[in-house]
Amino acid sequence: MARIIAGVSSSHVPAIGAAIDNHRTGEPYWQRVFEGFERSKEWMRNAKPDVCFVVYNDHASAFSVEMIPTFALGTAAEFPIADEGWGPRPVPVVKGHPRLASHIAQSVILDEFDLTLCNKMEVDHGLTVPLNLMFGSPKEWPCPIIPLAVNVVQFPPPTSNRCFNLGKALKKAIESYPEDLRVVVFGTGGMSHQISGQRAGLINSKFDHAFLDNLTKNPKKLTRLSHLELMREAGAEGVEMVMWLIMRGALDEKVDEVYRFYTVPASNTAVGHIILENRIKGAKKSAAKPAAKSKKPASKMKRAAALQKIHRVRS
């Protein structure tokens, strides 16, 4: 059976992609950003996923104001790189996994989540920048990618709670797929930023760090965040972080946080990143070693025993 081994969240700032494409990653401004993902690339090389499921938002590349699906699942065999105004990024074409994608579509739709199924779709920096940050710049992406585009551009976007529950449905779908596959789920976008209006340039690091803390330990608290709260605290574009909740909903209730990185700014955005691993089910704890003989003086041992007795009486 397929299983989700981990979730990854990262910002997808377009300027990060431009820095990669124009060989500027070693410049002082960008160096601190890319150094923060070196451990992540090493982790990904060791994880060796068979499939990555990437939740991102389209930036008027595959869709326009004429057609705005809330959730659009890519079911094609491959996804060309979109021309975002300066030519397609020089990154590999994204190869899909149509069989798993179709299985996910059936399971999730029967769980009453309406998806738009895309048998033809171009993908933009929202998807390719996180792939670069986690895989580097290979000639081909090392595994198939299934994209899920989420509307966080045109009001109303899906709620935090809706996205978290979609993640749960996604978990059920993937874990019911009969082939033995290791899957990593990406949630992308954010963190706090606003690119226009009177609050242009807003970054709220306090909110971002609290979001990261709760993503690991208390994601249900984040499901109560309204659109208004997200926009007020994280900026108009900070609503992108609902996509991180799809990733988190797809994981187990208890996870291990293996890496976190945060820096400001990159372009006009707070760059956040986290890797959460599902705990291996059925793993046996190592046998406890026999307790060493106490070297406490007899008086201290008697006192400790008395305190334990008092504690038992009080409880």
> Cα(63)–Cα(60) distance, rounded to whole angstroms?
5
> Cα(55)–Cα(73) distance, rounded to whole angstroms?
9
Q: Which of 97, 125, 209, 227 is catalytic?
A: 125
- Between strands 51-56 and 182-188, the pairing is parallel
> Cα(148)–Cα(249) distance, rounded to whole angstroms?
14
Establish whether 59 is a catalytic residue.
no
> Cα(183)–Cα(35) distance, rounded to whole angstroms?
25
Other Cβ atoms closer than 10 A to 188? 27
Establish whether 125 is a catalytic residue.
yes
Q: What is the DSSP string of 184-220?
A: EEEEE--SS---SSTTTT---HHHHHHHHHHHHH-HH
CB 190 within 8 A of CB 11: yes
Q: Which of 193, 209, 273, 311 is catalytic?
A: 193
Q: At a CB cut-off of 8 Å and minimum separation 6, what does 256 contact?
A: 276, 277, 279
What b/e string do you get for 59-89 counting C-beta neighbours within 10 Å, with b at 16 or more?
bebbbeeeeebbbbbbbbebbebbebeeebb
CA atoms within 13 A of residue 117's CA, in its CB half-sphere: 15
Which residues does the annotation mark as catalytic?
Answer: 125, 193
